[in-house]
Structure 1
C-alpha cells in the first residue's frame, strides 16, 4: 500500500504565543490544514504550546482526520532542538504558510536535514533579502503569492515556479441575503483588525462627519472590530468588539455597502484584503482607497474608488441616495469575486503542492 503524501507545515504566527484572537491568515491556514487532512494528506504542524486549546476547538469535528501536532516554544533555540525529533524523518513537501524572517534559520536547518525534497511557499507578504537567500537553498521551490508585486520580488530573485493564486477558502459561507433589508438607514461597514492605524478608520470617520445633516440621518457606519472599541460623539457611528469568524457572514448580510480605507504605509499595507473579498461575495458594493491591491479587484466593476476624504464623502452621499446603483455594483462585485478570488484546495494540491510532474520520493 502506498504511503500517504506528507507535508511539514510552518506558519510564523503558529510558532509564536497565541494572543487570544485568530485573524485572516491564521484562519486561512487552519482551514487549509483541515482540507488537506480531509484529502488523506498527512500534515505535521509545528505550533506553540499556547495554541493547544485553540487546536482542540479547530479540529474537534474532523471525523478522526487530524494533523500531527508538534508543540514548540517560541525560543528559536528550543524550536531547533524540537527539530531533532525529525532527524530520521522525511516529508514529501515543506509547506511554508507565509514568508517571515523568523523562518530564515529554520529554512536553512531543515534544508541541511534534508527534511523534504521540495518547498512550497504561500507568500502573503513581500520577502526580505534574508528570506530569499535562505529560500534559495531549496532549489525545488514553488511560490504561490497573493498578489503580483510579491510574485515579481521572487522572480527578480531568480525563482521560476511562481504564480499568483489566492482567495477565500470558505467562500460558501459568504452569500447575499435572500430578501432585501428593511432598514431606516443605509448601513456602511468597515471590517478588519481596526486597531491598526493604517486600516484607515480615521479617514472614514472624517468622511461621515463631513456629511450633510440630511444624509447623516439616513446612514449608519459600522466599524468592526476593535480590541478596545473607541467612542465617537456621532450617533450614526457604531463600533464593535472583536467579532468571532462565525458571526462575520451574517454581519455582512446586514450591511449595504463595504468601505475599505486601508492606506499603504510602506511597512504596513494590505497585500490582499480578505475582508474586501468577503464583502464582494456577500454582494456588497465596495468603496476602496486608491491602492493598487484594492483597486485591481474592482477593475471590471463592483465598486468605486476614492483618493481623499472629500471624494469618499461624495461617494457615501451617492450610494445613500441611489439604491439601484448599490444593487448593480453589488451584483458585479459578487460575480468578480466568484470568478477570481475563491480558493480551491484541490486546484492548489494538483497544480502546486503535488503537481503532475512531482516525483514522489517517499516519506518516513
Structure 2
C-alpha cells in the first residue's frame, strides 16, 4: 500500500448516548497515523430501538455515511469500531450492501446474532478481520435478543463461527460499556487497528506450512505439531507481550491455552542476558538478538511437557537504530504423544539449523509489523 495513504477508522456509538468514548479514542487513533471518523446518528432512545422502521432508517443512514467516507478516501483501508446498536447496524450493512470492503471490524457490547455468518464474509474478503470483545456481565445483548428481531447475544456469548481471522476476547467481570478505558484502547484495540491482522496471519500461516513440511522430511518427526505466534515490545519497556490474537497452530491439540497467551517475557537482568521462562515457553535471549535460538529439548517446559523445541527470531524496526528489537516471532514444536516424545525431540534437534533459518526469513517478511506498530 502507498505509504502516503492513511487508514481510516470509523467509530459508531450505541443507543441512549452520543458516544463520549469516540472522542476519547479519536486522538489515539490519529497518533498512529490513522484518520478517525466519528459517526453520530443522534440520541437513539429505547422506544426507537424497538421500532423496526427506526432501525431500518439508521441502517440506510450508515450506508450513506460509509459511502461518503469511501468517496473522501478512495484508496484507504477502512475499519469500523462499533458499540451496542452500532454493531447491529454494521452487521446489517455488511449483509445488505456488498459494495463495501472493510479492513477490521471491531465490536464491543455486540447485539449481533451469535450465528452471524462471518466465515462467508471473511472468505469472500469483504471483511479481512473481526475482533469481538465479550463482556459476561452485559445485560443488553440478552435483552436485545428477546425484544428485537434479528438481534443476538454475541456481546455476552460470542460468535459461534471459528476462523483464523475472527478473534474473540472475553472479560468475565465487564458490563456493557466497561471496555471504554485507556488500557483497552492502548493494549487491546489499537494493535488491532494499526496493524493489518490478516497480513500477519497469512505470514504466520506460510511459516507454519513451511515448518510442517520441513518436519516431514526428518524420520521420526512426521507426527510433530507446530504453532507460531508474535510478540511485541511496548514503548519504553523491556518486556515482550503476546500480540493479541496473532497465533496459529497446525492442529487443535497444539492450540494455545488462555494461560499460555496471557504472560509477559521479561529480562531478568539489565543486560538482557536471559529471559525468564513463562509457563509454556522458553527462549534463549542473547545480547545479540539474532542469536536467539532453540530451547534445550531435554528440559521440558513447565505446564506443557509436550513442547520439545522452540525457535525465536527478532523483529527490528525498518530504518531504526541498529539492533533495536521491537518484537519477536516464535515457532514451537510439540510432540504428538508422550511415548514418542524422546524420539521426536531427537529428530527435531537435527533440524534446528534449518528451523532457525526459516525463522530468520520469517522475521524479515514480518518487518512491516514493526514499522506499522512501533
Q: Taking structure 2 as the reference length, what is the TM-score of the superposition? A: 0.34
Q: TM-score, normalised by structure 1?
A: 0.34
Which of 1 and 2 has higher RCO (CA within 8 Å, sep 6+)? 1
